Amino acid sequence: MPAPPRASRSVLGLYVNIGISVFAAVGLVFAVTSGIPGVLRVWGVWAVAAGLVQLIIALRRRALGGQWAMIASGSISALAGISFLRQAAVPHSSLGNLAGYALLGGIFFLVSALRLGHNASRSAGGSN
């Protein structure tokens, strides 16, 4: 059986990431009632899993160019997730680090979107 096209594997990875995020959202609904350590555990597992999926997708797509932000973001997400899991075991843990993580993730997302938009407009301009 032939391997699926590269694009369909990337789309599959994105759907996997969506599924992971949905499970995390449901998990957070329940974790919030158990306290900060529970939230950090769910958030940590999500960050590791989603970060690894993002990293794998970016590495597979690196030949397209402009994937450095996605590679960095996936790597940082996985490492941050491990940090959140470790932080959950500390007495009197806080959610303060989640704000920095979300800000950094937003910046990487913006850079990736701008880069992909630039590549798309360059490709469209070159085909005329």
Segment among 8-12, 37-41, 82-86 with least mean pLDDT: 8-12
Q: How confident is the model over 56-89, as pLDDT tens digits?
A: 988 988 887 768 888 888 999 999 999 999 999 9
What pLDDT is stored for residue 100 in this prediction? 82
Structure tokens at 74: 């996936």
83 touches 103 (CB < 8 A): no
| Cα angle, residue 47 at apex, residues 46 and 48 outer, rounded to 5° | 95
**Cα–Cα distance for residue pair 117/68, rounded to 1 Å:** 15
112 touches 71 (CB < 8 A): no
98 residue type, one letter: L
First to last CA, the chain: 37
Q: Rounded to the nearest 10 degrees, how much is the dihedral formed by the CA atoms of 121, 122, 123, 128?
A: 90
Whose tokens are 């843990």? That residue is 93
What pLDDT is stored for residue 113 in this prediction? 76
Residue 25 has pLDDT above 60, yes or no: yes
Structure tokens at 47: 């960050």
- Smallest CA-to-CA distance from 58 within 108, 18, 104 is with 108
